[in-house]
Structure 1
Amino acid sequence: MPVIKRLLCGLAVVATLFSVCPAQAAFVVGGEDGWSFSTDGNVNLFLRYATADARPDNVHSAFNTLSDGEESFRTRSGFLPGVLAFNIKAPTMGGLDMAARVGFYPNPQNANTKNSFSGQIDLREIFFTVDGNFGQFLVGKAFSLFQGQNCLTGMSVYGFAIEGAVSGGGATLGNIGYGYIYPQFNAQVRYTTPDFHGFKLAVAIHDPSQIIGSGVGPDGSTVITPEATETNTPRWEGELSYAGIYADGDGSFKTWVSGLYQTAKFVDDSLYDDDEVTAWGVAGGVQLGYKRYELVASAFTGEALGSTLMLDYDSLDYTGEERETMGYLLQGTYTWDNRFGKTKLGICYGANRMDETSAEKEVRAATGNGELKQQDVITVGLFHDINPHLKLVLEYNRAKLEWFNDGKQEVDIIALGTFFMW
């Protein structure tokens, strides 16, 4: 009988998943002895049109975030891909609450081709948590701490913003490289303290990354990519946050500071002045809400972080020296209710700036070649919730790149999108 009972319970779970009403916020199914299963996610699609200046001559960027002299139309996902996530919760045992999450992040578009048989399905999340009066332990692949809040508090989470290559098959960049560097989903063991009067501290041991550079060498044309690939210590990340309310509950605030530290060694240290490079960074911000208004300000600085994707793209110059990077994001939104639902109007400015190393200055003086100096974008967005599950987005972006030899490039992107969320 116990076997038959479990089989019938399993069939009931499957039947419920296929028959549940789409209007529900999530599918939650109870099992035996306190076990539960739920799912959440979204499907989104954007129509976007862009015009871009031609990239100037004699400039170098390891990661080209703007298209090159193109006028183009595409139908694709926004910054957030589609999401299908599964959550499993165990019954409380011995004062411990245990749960797991597996999240798939697929994209609806091909890579600008009619025929594609390898759609990108990004397994971003696979982790479990253990909660108790001691706080929480998280084990697995999850969103990283350093600059995580800088990313999640930006309005481009449900928008489009910067795109990357026109032919891209993945999600857009949002403000990645234009206000923050992408935190990414990484393997980690994380501990978070209990809430102490609004304060929380999280510390994580991460799977270390190779630290890789990219730069034009002394001849002015050859791209050299120094690679520090020997990682014999973990990457450490941490975040201290404080959240609360004010004005009798009409206002809320959140502030945070996060950090990163990691080293990596060159396999052949005879090619470089030092055999080891060090990546470090500090980020922080504040999110302030009052009634219908919200302001967000965040920033970061550090060395060997890169311009857009963290650590393993353009963190070093061609000699293996750590590059310095800083960035910031300023954002304001206003939300109001109306007869058609809830509407939010927002404006955001984000920028990342890279310092020029002494070796890069010498190359520029001798050859005229310029490395990337700054990426910035101003975004105006209108977000309308028809109901809690159906969202419309209209967004305009004007982005600009600058190089140290005064090269410049601009692009305009207009996007119209929709989300179904559960």
Structure 2
Amino acid sequence: MKSAQFFTALLACLVVLAISTPASAEIVLYDKEGATFGVDGSFNTFYVHSDSDNEIADTDRTQSRVKMGFLPNWIGFNFSKQVGDLKLGGRSSFWVTINDSDDLNGGTHGITDTGIDVRQFYATVGSDWGQVLLGKDFGLFSRSNIFLDEILLGYGNVSDTFGLIDGANVSFGNIGTGYIYPMPAAQITYRSPDLAGFKLAIGLVDPSRTTTGPNAEEDMPRFEGELTYNYKLANGNITAWAGFLHQQSESDTEDIDSTGISYGIKARIAGLGLHASGFSAEGVGLLLGPGVDTVLGIPLTEAGDELDSNGYLLQASYIIGNARVVGSYGKNELEFELVDELENETVTGALFYAVNDNFNLVAEYNINEISSGGAEEETKTIALGAIVNF
């Protein structure tokens, strides 16, 4: 792997990336004759101090920033209407970065040139037989891995290697150190009704271009799915899941099959929470999945064979009054035959304090280590933040 070209591409492309969550709270603005309209949103800001010792780029520096956390600042609009036996609905969510005060990376993102991104824009049609989603939403592969992450409201990993420390870029939570991001995409997805705690989601997803040769094509959509199981306890609950991804991209010079499975279990009993999840894939990448990792310069193949990637995330948390203490460890690997593996791992300790249902405070310490080609970068980060939801 040509490290200089690889990381230059990452630095150039990772200007704005974050994740938005489905509505967790909602203000209903209209509810009449079977039709409803509501709005929800979230605002967060962190003071961040990062210390990077980077053998890969031969740099050693500290940086202080005021930025948003792993979650963006976002606003969402929700619609529903009962029409006969069908319940029609929809959601549109938009997030806004506040990481636009300064750009030290030489990119095109200018001062106060705020980016607005649409992560969800879909309609739903549902009845007793389940629900069909039509539009743009997060993928199903690794979906529960990330939405059930204990530090979803925190800050997470950053590094100079992936261009995430300075002002215009974002934090990655546990993206690349535990799971692959379920990139939002156009899709047609069926979700089953609850059957004894089981729910199945199967989607036809707009495929990603992973080949770079002439006459590149995808003659089939990408297939993704996830089976979840929820079991309620007297003093808690257990959630387990398994997902998959499969797609093919072809050209005159190469064919790439991208396949993967994601899985996990999360339990909360009284104040104790435990999370264990992971994935195993071929031709999928390390960070953001097939297609996007290709654009970023992360190889999906080596000598004509799809590269294996895998990762896992282990977490424990405990709730004491309004406080939640979290310990987290995650790691991703991209396996090569001819060069050293690309490894990315993160250790996180975090304290979340709920002032009330709509206002949370966060204190987090994170150590991220990346190794590539025999060189390493270690980044230590302290993040102090506040989150307001409605």
**TM-score, normalisation: structure 2:** 0.86
Cα distance in 2 between the residues matched to 1:191 and 1:168:
39
Check whether the contact 1:235–1:262 (CA below 8 A) recurs between aligned residues.
Answer: yes
The alignment status of 1:202 with 2:183, answered yes or no, reads no
Check whether the contact 1:40–1:85 (CA below 8 A) recurs between aligned residues.
Answer: yes
Alignment partner of 1:347 out of 309, 312, 327: 327
The alignment status of 1:107 with 2:91, answered yes or no, reads no
Cα distance in 1 between the residues matched to 2:63 and 2:327:
24
Cα distance in 1 between the residues matched to 2:213 and 2:346:
30
Check whether the contact 2:140–2:226 (CA below 8 A) recurs between aligned residues.
Answer: yes
Q: What is the 5 A alignment of 1:343-422?
A: 343-357=323-337, 361=338, 364=339, 370=340, 372-403=341-372, 405-422=373-390
2:91 maps to a residue whose letter is R
Alignment partner of 2:269 out of 281, 284, 290: 290
Q: RMSD of the TM alignment (CA)? A: 2.1
1:380 maps to a residue whose letter is G
Q: 1:288 to 1:258 in 2, by over 3 A?
A: same
Q: What is the 5 A alignment of 1:50-65?
A: 50-56=50-56
In structure 1, the partner of 2:217 is 230
Check whether the contact 1:43–1:83 (CA below 8 A) recurs between aligned residues.
Answer: yes
The alignment status of 1:263 with 2:248, answered yes or no, reads yes
Q: Unaligned stretches of 5+ in structure 2? A: 1-23, 105-109
The alignment status of 1:94 with 2:62, answered yes or no, reads no
Cα distance in 2 between the residues matched to 1:293 and 1:33:
43
- Superimposed CA distance per residue, residues 16-59 of structure 1 (whole angstroms, 9 cap, x where no aligned partner): xxxxxxxx95321225533221100101000000011123369x
Q: 1:195 to 1:351 in 2, by over 3 A?
A: same
Q: 1:168 to 1:204 in 2, by over 3 A?
A: farther
Cα distance in 2 between the residues matched to 1:101 and 1:151:
20
Check whether the contact 2:262–2:278 (CA below 8 A) recurs between aligned residues.
Answer: yes
The alignment status of 1:330 with 2:314, answered yes or no, reads yes
Stretch deviating more after TM superposition (30-39 or 293-302): 30-39
In structure 1, the partner of 2:115 is 120
In structure 2, the partner of 1:134 is 129
Deviation at 1:69, TM superposition (A): 2.8
In structure 2, the partner of 1:76 is 67
Check whether the contact 1:211–1:228 (CA below 8 A) recurs between aligned residues.
Answer: no
Check whether the contact 2:50–2:165 (CA below 8 A) recurs between aligned residues.
Answer: no
Check whether the contact 1:80–1:171 (CA below 8 A) recurs between aligned residues.
Answer: no
Stretch deviating more after TM superposition (47-56 or 298-307): 47-56
Q: 1:194 to 1:353 in 2, by over 3 A?
A: same
Cα distance in 2 between the residues matched to 1:161 and 1:378:
9
Q: Whose helix fraction is larger, Structure 1's or Structure 2's? A: 1
Q: Whose strand fraction is larger, Structure 1's or Structure 2's? A: 2
Q: 1:289 to 1:140 in 2, by over 3 A?
A: same
Check whether the contact 2:29–2:39 (CA below 8 A) recurs between aligned residues.
Answer: no
Cα distance in 1 between the residues matched to 2:265 and 2:214:
35
- Superimposed CA distance per residue, residues 211-233 of structure 1 (whole angstroms, 9 cap, x where no aligned partner): 15xxxxxxxxxxxx779942121
Check whether the contact 1:110–1:169 (CA below 8 A) recurs between aligned residues.
Answer: yes
Alignment partner of 2:236 out of 240, 251, 256: 251
The alignment status of 1:48 with 2:48, answered yes or no, reads yes
Cα distance in 2 between the residues matched to 1:110 and 1:95:
47
In structure 2, the partner of 1:311 is 290
Query: Which has the higher Rg, Structure 1 or Structure 2?
Result: 1
Provide the secondary structure at the position in 2 that maps to 1:232. Answer: coil
Deviation at 1:351, TM superposition (A): 0.2
Check whether the contact 1:226–1:316 (CA below 8 A) recurs between aligned residues.
Answer: no
Alignment partner of 2:278 out of 284, 293, 299: 299
In structure 2, the partner of 1:240 is 227
Cα distance in 2 between the residues matched to 1:335 and 1:251:
12
Check whether the contact 1:226–1:318 (CA below 8 A) recurs between aligned residues.
Answer: no
Cα distance in 1 between the residues matched to 2:45 and 2:375:
34
Cα distance in 1 between the residues matched to 2:304 and 2:281:
16
Cα distance in 2 between the residues matched to 1:100 and 1:25:
16
Q: 1:227 to 1:208 in 2, by over 3 A?
A: farther
1:325 maps to a residue whose letter is S
1:78 maps to a residue whose letter is G
Cα distance in 2 between the residues matched to 1:187 and 1:25:
25
Q: Unaligned stretches of 5+ in structure 1? A: 1-23, 59-67, 213-224, 270-274, 365-369
Cα distance in 1 between the residues matched to 2:380 and 2:288:
22
Cα distance in 1 between the residues matched to 2:90 and 2:120:
10
Q: 1:420 to 1:257 in 2, by over 3 A?
A: same
- Superimposed CA distance per residue, residues 159-210 of structure 1 (whole angstroms, 9 cap, x where no aligned partner): 1011342235354211000000111111110001111100111100000001
Deviation at 1:412, TM superposition (A): 0.2
In structure 1, the partner of 2:7 is none
**TM-score, normalisation: structure 1:** 0.79
Check whether the contact 2:122–2:133 (CA below 8 A) recurs between aligned residues.
Answer: yes
1:138 maps to a residue whose letter is L
**Aligned-pair identity (%):** 31
Provide the secondary structure at the position in 2 that maps to 1:183. Answer: coil
For these two proteins, the number of residue pairs brought into alignment is 353
In structure 2, the partner of 1:192 is 191
The alignment status of 1:155 with 2:111, answered yes or no, reads no
Check whether the contact 1:107–1:170 (CA below 8 A) recurs between aligned residues.
Answer: no
